[in-house]
Amino acid sequence: MDRAGAVAARPHPRAAPPATLLSLVAKTAALCAEESRDAVVLDTVNSIEELTTGMSRKIWQKISTLPPAA
C-alpha cells in the first residue's frame, strides 16, 4: 500500500478513539466494585484502571504523532 492509501484508510478524526473505549472499561469496572469491600475485587479494579489509563496514554501519544489529515 502506498502512502496515499495509508492516509485514506485512517478513521475520521472525530471518531471515538480506542482510548475512549478503555475509559469506559475502567469506569464499568469501578461501578461493578462500587459497593464491594473484598480486597481482591478492589485490587483487580485498581489494576484495570491503571492498565487502561496507561494504554489510553500510549494511544494518545501515538495519535499525536500522526500528521494532519489532508
Q: Report the alpha-carbon distance of residue 61 to residue 41 in Å, rounded.
A: 30
Contact between 26 and 53 under an 8 Å Cβ cutoff? The reply is: yes
* Structural domain includes residue 3: no
pLDDT tens sequence across 9-59: 565 566 566 778 888 898 999 898 888 899 999 999 999 999 999 998 898
* Structural domain includes residue 43: yes
Which residues fall within 8 angstroms of residue 38, CB to CB, at 6 or more apart? none
* Structural domain includes residue 5: no
pTM of the model: 0.65
- Rounded to whole angstroms, what are the CA distances from 68 to 14, 31, 63? 13, 37, 10
Quote the number of domains for the chain: 1
